[in-house]
Chains A and B, each alone.
Chain A
Amino acid sequence: MTQPVWDLPVRLVHWLLAALIAFSWWSVHNHHTDWHIWSGCAILTLLIFRLLWGFVGSSTARFSNFVRGPRTVAAYLRGKWAGLGHTPLGALSVLALLLAVAIQVGLGLIAQDEDGIYAGPLSRLVSSDASDSARDIHELWFNVILALIALHVGAIIFYRIRGNDLTRPMITGRAVLAQQAVPMRPAKWWVAVLCLAVSIGLVRWVIAGAPPFGS
């Protein structure tokens, strides 16, 4: 018997993020810097949406539901944890990935290329030298993201070997669960649409160079 664990917004954010990170890497290595910048703006939209959804989304999407202290992580490692959604250890991976991608997007927003052809929408808020440094760190920081992705995929393979398939629930949204688990409390669909509208609005403002309000 399966039951819902991941709502559609969580799954869409997950797979779109994976696809856009791959696309960002590919586009910048194939001289499509303009596409790379648009991809970064799309990722920013996903990040803002996911942040909002982490407060008003379905129960398993909420930070309050999966961000836990070291004691719970330790209890989980001793096998004393039964719940629905991200495990206490998995939650750390989720937070690390989201934070690393957010830093990457932030660096990209203020970066500029070395030829004066392309620049992130917020590059003019910092000096030219700062934009150049941001580009260099942006390039290096991708290795941090790659390491976290490797850890993420490695953990999935580890659980698969132990007989726990984590990929399928991220596609179908459903999983076989321990009976004592509290069922997922889904959020209303229009809340997701509202979150999306807010994230798109914010990103459009960023693309415009973050002009001051009321001007």
Chain B
Amino acid sequence: MRIAMFAAGAAYVLLCACGGPQTSQANNSQANISNESRASNSASASTTSNGMAMLAAGPVSGQQALAVMHQRHEGMETIGKTAKALKRELDGSSPNMTAVRAGAAQIADLSRKASGWFPAGTGPDVGKTGAKPEIWQNPQDFASKLHNFQAAAATFNQAAMSGDVNLIKAKFGELGQACKACHDKYRSEMHH
């Protein structure tokens, strides 16, 4: 009786080891991410220095700071909504490629604008925001993560234009991991 139940327990563990579409996709994207960032480094080098420049630029204050924070919030919310719609398309059996291309272009466009969303003086001490103060304590690390996001958004946009569904899904997975890398470290849970 007991041995049989432990065997059943082992069968249970196997269920978790079986893996599904979501985990395998995440694994693939992690395997690909280093290659990808190497390939796109030279192409987006200027974006990096822009990002660094924006972070290093003189602090903003008053109405200007609030305007930037509002723009950042709206931009991030649009990126999130677009990504959710994209995930729904791409998880389906026959994604609407017109919608995928439009969404990918929109995220790529907003990702470039994100270089201007984090000047000093737009932290949680100024107003309600999910941006953690750590962003301005580690400007180099933050700028590099922002750059990774911009590169991933550009690569995903290129993939979307190619029309290759498997490539699009892989690049969308990488984009998600780029979002997550920054959010895990620099976004607080008070961002709603």
Contact = CB atoms under 8 A, between A and B. Distances in A.
Contacts of B81: 128
Interface majority SS (helix, strand, loop, mixed), chain A: helix
Interface string A18-42: 0000000000000100100110011
A186 B176 CA distance: 50
Given A34-B26, A192-B8, A115 B15 contact: no
Interface residues of B, number: 33
B84 A190 contact: no
Query: Chain B interface mostly helix, strand, loop or mixed?
Result: helix
A57 B68 CA distance: 62
B23 A42 contact: no
A124 interface: yes
Interface string B1-39: 110110111011001101010110010000000000000
Interface of A: 8-9, 12, 31, 34, 37-38, 41-42, 45, 112, 114-119, 121, 123-124, 128, 131-132, 186, 189-190, 192-193, 196-197, 200, 203-204, 207-209
B11 A119 contact: no
Contacts of B12: 42, 45, 196, 200
Given A45-B15, A112-B87, A192-B4, A118 B22 contact: yes
13 contacts: A12-B5, A12-B9, A31-B184, A42-B15, A116-B86, A117-B87, A119-B87, A132-B84, A190-B4, A192-B8, A196-B11, A204-B15, A207-B20
B180 interface: yes
A116 B87 contact: yes
Contact of A115 (B26, B85, B183): B183
B159 interface: no
Contacts of A12: 5, 9
Contacts of A186: 1
Interface in B152-173: none
B11 A115 contact: no
